Chain A
Amino acid sequence: MGSKEIDMSEVSLAKRTLEEIHQAGFEKAVCQVSKDELHELQAESGEINLFRTNFETDIRLSGIADQRRASLGVNKTDEVTIGQAIRDLKLMAEGANQDPAFDISGSQPAEVFTTGPEDPDYDLMYDRIKEVQDYARGKYPTLNLRSVGITFFKRRTCFVNSNKVQFESTRSQYRVSLSFSAKDGLDTSSMMYTEYTRHNLDEPLKDAVNVDTLFRQSTEQVRTRHLPNKFVGDLVIAPTCLPSFLGFMTARLGDGPMISGTSIYKDKAGEMVKSNLLTVHSCPVSEDICSGYWITGDGYKAENLTIVENGKLNSYLLGQYGANKTGLPRAINGGGCYIVDPGHDTFEDLIGQVDEGVLINRFSGGRPSDRGDFSGVAKNSYYIKDGKVQFPIKETTVSGNMDDLLKNIRSISSERINSGSSVYPWIRVSGVTAS
């Protein structure tokens, strides 16, 4: 067994470890200590059958010596483990190549951040699961609530670096996840899932996000039909599905594609890259976002950022290394926590505007090429004709170009879904092939 664990605060442990990294010969050093608690209740196939409690420690060490960088993670706090980790870190860095672009965050005022409840409420977690099971059983007899999970997750973190940066944070939240399908005789609907985070469980699960709508749709989708014909038409993208399409752009604004020069958004800052109806923010410190963050992976205090404003590319999502490699500005946060501005039409308006199209709730697609060409299956989705939702569809492929897709936005709904980690509306785009 390991040597005795050190019982000290995250701050003391992080500072002491930082000093040891420095003493090992690193000119620049970073240490982040996290202590996590996880309390989870889980139900499968209608039975609440697992209660889990996990306690985890995580220590991330990073150092730069002679412009050579290495990072290492361990989950033990004893002297032997940490001492060995620092020796390994030195060996890893000595084997790496020199790169003047490696750096750590500069000096910033120390801050302490806190949000979320102190402790989990086990009885309420249990009652909320039981309540949604009873509701689904009563209102949607063909629905199979395959799994429901409520997790209380709490993380205390201390981030320090050798530029005297010190951030402490405590964040806790409830994560709720549901997956379900429906079965009626031999007919089965496709599996659907949703998840969200909240600071409390005041709201019954059935009333959160669009759970009840998804339940109803799942029962409708046991009997699906083929599209009547292949067509080029509209796609009404549901909030549950929007990350599949927005993700193409955000992934190509980051370090890898920008450094390698393969991003199609290279040299496009300040230009119109999307429809002027689209405004996308990354808001890790917004009050609307439950699962945000205060500190970027590089060790900077995070700020909210508008990436695309009325179609114009305002900012890349470059970290410190990517910024140093490309000579472009570092983004003021690390991306994620996306909020898309609402439009002026209702969801019903969007459907009413469609001559022929697909309401897509889930997209199962191949990885798009760097050019953005994509094709994939529209799952849990519906055929729209003459402004009305007609029937749930099966084996339907949609294809187009990811880059063009968000240039061809025709309308955005005023209603939005807040999952705790994003706030998304429904978006209607044109020019998509469905077959």
Chain B
Amino acid sequence: MQIADIDLRRYSNHFSSYTELRVQENTSQQIMLLNGDVVSNTRDISGGVCSRVFDQGAWGFSSDANVSNDSIESTITAATRNAAFLAKRCGKPEATLPRAQTEASSDFRTEQPKKSQEEIIAFLKSCDEYVVESCPEIVSRQIGLSSLDMEKLLYTSEGSFGHNVNTRTLMSMKLTTRNDADEPVELSEGFGNRGQFEDVFPNMDEFKEKVDLLYEHLMNKRDAVKPVSGYHDVILASDLAGILAHEAIGHTTEGDIVRAGSVAADYIGQVVASDLVTLVDFANTYEGQTLPVPVYMDDEGVECKDSVIIDKGVLKSFMHNKDSARYFDMELTGNARAFSYTDEPLVRMRNTAILPGKDRFEDMVASIDDGYLLMRWTNGQADSTSEFMFGVQMGYEIKNGKLGRAISDTTISGIAFDMLKEITMLSDEMTWNCAGMCGKKQPMPVGMGGPAVKTKIFIGGE
């Protein structure tokens, strides 16, 4: 039986208090070519049923890999028993959750005939051959493909019901060359989109475009200079603006993090950024376009709404699940998401972005006498103090309004709510990145977006 055909409503007679019942299956695939050899060729299918029960302020959760009539009933029973264990010891009889009822259905699987494994590997081999032919100075190359399909069927005791299938397919590549001192110099890139392989990579056009650009940057990076440590005028390319929005601002405004002591708790209603800055966690759609990670109903059965975090520089709101909305007595936003059937929903971002401004990128570069263009992040971390750090693997000097020499790997850091106030220009174009995998207790695909940003930032180095 297909997941969509399971009648979860028939189990409502087993519900004794607020209950979520979810059947979920995640299918992931990874293929990795190292110097043309397929070194990884794996697929993983993991699914099951879970139930979460709220009893006097305490949650009980249980899951089972088997999906059968018996296992669904026993999962509800176990979750109910687990909640009762806690309620007996530390329950708060007055605790109630905000209610929600909605229905949603979405399916982003391909309608095209599925490609065979042989065809997909042949595609990657062709990509690899293209790198060999067009990038003569490369000494090592990695090309990978990964995909994740998440199918969820949810029913809650408040009557919410949904069947949603989110998909995404990503390619990664890492090119290594050697500089004059015979040291390895590398650059990597990940790209892709919502959808399955057949829809995301219909041909090699996007790959060729990405590899040509990456190789050009890598050749420049062979002669890179170390950036000068300290505060500088910089332009953050749009991919860096996206991770800034997610890591440095987004996490500090998640309801559970706010409750746990995030500095943002003290800033609501206050100016936290330049008035050029508007930052939104979009549920599923922006300017009529479906976003990288569209979520229509969250895993607590709540209709997903856009969360405007910062509006023209003022901190307006936080993102919530039922628990944090209850605690802060705020409206539900539909940000409760779980990665696997073994996971409880947490407050998670969906598609977080700084909205574009009105400046041309060329004018932004021309406005800097001595600074840097920073692009292509490697990793990032942020703190509840809004202190952030991002690794940067590519960038250029800006001297007298013109791009100069490439710079070597570095890190940028600062206090996000200070740095946002230093923003003076935003480009009029924004890009979305689909490759984000947030790591807050559970992994979770996220979308991130933004324009190029001119600000001041601390660059690490000697």
Interface residues of A (CB under 8 A from B): 1-2, 4-5, 38, 44-45, 47-58, 69-76, 85, 88, 91-97, 99, 122, 126, 144, 146-147, 181, 183, 186, 188-191, 230, 255-256, 259-262, 264, 321, 364-371, 373, 375-377, 379, 394-395, 397, 399-400, 433, 435
Contact = CB atoms under 8 A, between A and B. Distances in A.
A50 B59 contact: yes
28 contacts: A2-B67, A38-B342, A44-B260, A48-B89, A51-B58, A51-B61, A53-B62, A53-B78, A54-B342, A55-B65, A57-B66, A69-B41, A71-B42, A72-B43, A75-B48, A88-B43, A95-B116, A97-B121, A181-B261, A188-B261, A190-B385, A259-B34, A260-B142, A261-B140, A321-B39, A366-B393, A375-B462, A376-B389
Contacts of A375: 229, 410-411, 460-462
B119 A377 contact: no
B415 interface: yes
B430 to A, nearest CB: 24
B390 A366 contact: yes
Contacts of A433: 229, 462
B275 interface: no
A370 B256 CA distance: 37
B410 A366 contact: yes
A47 B57 contact: yes
B186 A370 contact: yes
Given A51-B60, A144-B261, A367-B391, A1 B67 contact: yes
B38 A99 contact: yes
Interface in B298-328: 323
Contact of B68 (A2, A122, A397, A400): A2
A50 B184 contact: no
Interface stretch (B154-162, B210-218, B376-384): B376-384
A370 B260 contact: no
Given A377-B389, A397-B413, A96 B184 contact: no
A379 B63 contact: no
A373 B408 contact: yes
Given A144-B261, A395-B413, A260 B35 contact: yes
A2 B48 CA distance: 10
B82 A51 contact: yes
Contacts of B58: 48-51
Given A70-B42, A188-B261, A57 B65 contact: yes
B390 A44 contact: no
Contact of A70 (B41, B85, B90, B415): B41
B43 A50 contact: no
Given A96-B117, A394-B387, 11 more contacts: A44-B256, A47-B90, A48-B58, A51-B85, A52-B61, A53-B63, A70-B41, A91-B116, A366-B378, A370-B183, A376-B413
B409 A369 contact: yes
